[in-house]
Structure 1
Amino acid sequence: MGRLIAVVLFVAVMVPSGLLAREWSRAADRRAVAGGAVELVPPSDAGAAVLARQARHGRRLRQSGLVLGLVLIGVSVVLFAEASVFLWAPALVVGALAGVLLAEASRTRPRWATGPRRPRRGEQVSPWLLWAMRGAVVGELAAAALLWSAGSVPDQVALVALVVPGAGWVLAEVALLRLVVRPLAADGSDVPVDEALRTWGAHLVCGAASVLAMVPLGALLLVAGVDLGDRVTDGVDLIPVALVAGGFSAITAGLAVAVFLVRWLRPVRHSAPALAG
């Protein structure tokens, strides 16, 4: 009976990752609609210039993120010595995600006329994705602090687990705030471009911050579950099972978000109008 309960609990804890992947699938549909709208109406000269400038800006910052990843590899060698051989790939991923967040948080203001209306948050990104990102970051920071205070993780690991997701969260919130406070474009031909840029940016920062939080959260939960599983207890202790299941769920969710994030890295482009001719 204990094994059956453990299996049911494991499956139940894995459900959130599936629901999150479903929400990101819906976000991909929103992305397709926003991109299709750009193809229907030719933007003004200012709008076309904004698209080209934003694409160059994003590409430049993301390349800088890869350079940052190489720097982080050197930092990992200093902090973790021989163990850093397993951290090269994560360091490059962290650098790449940092480049994505920096690119979106430092976007230049579009040089077109703006109207009086400001966008609503729900027009850019699903509240479920936004709050899932925030919840993952808060959970990861709490787990890192608790495990650090309990002595379950070394100081260097705890420092990285606190700084990287926390910094990513700050950059994501800055980028999201900038998308809300900037008024919408006034020229009707530039409105689809403006909305597409906001949709791309909101989902990029939510996705990048989510990956930076969910994968470390999963690793921390696995560590906590394994530590508790080593204790000798009477009867069935479901807490280690729940922690291990939660760890796998968080890692799976983070990898699923990463798959969707890669698809969103392509900048907003405009070709010939779809209805031309």
Structure 2
Amino acid sequence: MGKVGRLIAVVLFIAVMVPSGLLARAWARAADRRLVASGSVELVPPSEAGAAVLARQARHGRRVRQLGFVLGLVLVGVSVAFFAEASVFLWLPALVVGLLAGVLLAEATRPRPRWATGSRRPRRAEQISPWLLWTMRGAVAGELVATSVLWDAGSLRDGVAVAALVAPAVAWLLAEVALLRLVVRPLAADGSDVPVDEALRTWSAHLVVAAASTVALLPLGALLLVAGVDLGDRVSDGVDLLPVALVAGGFSAVTAGLAVAWFLVTWLRPVRRSAPALAG
């Protein structure tokens, strides 16, 4: 590869890394939505029913996420049973998948608030940016396609391929169930409970989208890196940019997945009610 080829490869690498930066920027903006939602809860004191809902939802989230940790430990044991010594590289991914599954299950199975509801239903855009939502769906679709292609090419073992297909698909289904529940259920009827209701919906939407995105982006990045390295080993005439694009895409997906996972951690703190800002 000559100087021109190397220059093109560098430019391509940088260009493919741009989407991860844009996604991180979008999640940083989502943090502003979290501040607004939590500020609204503190501004107006909720009713007794609203305060009870906040406590109940927080307990539910903690309990189910603890079950997710247990599920992660079970997955570690399953990996040991199937892959023996080689499973040591799967322990951390298995534990992470279990923890993220706990987040998704907690949001998909949240109990319905015990308060009177009105007639208005919220719009999806009021809860989360459509760009974040469709990025999650695109990442899941890309991961499933990449897994299928590499599996057909013989680059993945059957057990690894099945896990790489099942985990993102199940995560996506749980996320869609949770998101559907958010738009189907009407808003609270009591005006003092509306900020609590909207905050809970905002939290839930961002949690499931972040969790499903992480489950898809991290393995997608690993798969693209594997494909890029495999193609880079072949002998070709001239400049072959496909391996460079795949490796850059892999790094971009892994970087984006880690960034989304970091933002996910910031959303795990439940909606809390402190002293009303207008009290006294």
User: Structures share a fold, TM > 0.5?
Assistant: yes
| CA deviation map 1:141-188 (0-9, x unaligned) | 000011001111111110110000110000000000000100011100
Partner of 1:56: 59
| CA deviation map 1:39-73 (0-9, x unaligned) | 00000010000000000000000000000000000
Percent of pairs with identical residues: 82
1:216 alignment partner, one of 216, 219, 242: 219
Ranges in structure 2 where 5+ consecutive residues have no aligned partner: none
1:5 alignment partner, one of 3, 8, 22: 8
- Following superposition, the deviation at residue 80 of structure 1 comes to 1.7
- Pairing 1:16–2:19 present: yes
Name the SS for the 2:9 alignment partner. Answer: helix
Partner of 1:197: 200
1:96-135 superposed matches below 5 A: 96-135=99-138
Partner of 1:254: 257
Query: How far apart, CA to CA, are the structure 1 residues paired with 2:16 and 2:213?
Result: 18
- Pairing 1:152–2:173 present: no
1:3-82 superposed matches below 5 A: 3-82=6-85
Query: How far apart, CA to CA, are the structure 2 residues paired with 1:237 and 1:78?
Result: 41
- Pairing 1:269–2:267 present: no
2:113 partner letter: P
Bigger mean CA deviation after superposition, 85-94 or 210-219: 85-94
Query: How far apart, CA to CA, are the structure 1 residues paired with 2:253 and 2:82?
Result: 26
- Pairing 1:136–2:139 present: yes
Query: How far apart, CA to CA, are the structure 1 residues paired with 2:127 and 2:83?
Result: 40
- Following superposition, the deviation at residue 25 of structure 1 comes to 0.5
Ranges in structure 1 where 5+ consecutive residues have no aligned partner: none
Query: How far apart, CA to CA, are the structure 2 residues paired with 1:183 and 1:79?
Result: 46
Partner of 1:166: 169
1:220 partner letter: L
**How many residues of Structure 1 are paired with residues of Structure 2 in the alignment?**
277
- Following superposition, the deviation at residue 87 of structure 1 comes to 1.5
- Following superposition, the deviation at residue 275 of structure 1 comes to 2.1
Query: How far apart, CA to CA, are the structure 2 residues paired with 1:143 and 1:229?
Result: 17
1:197 partner letter: L
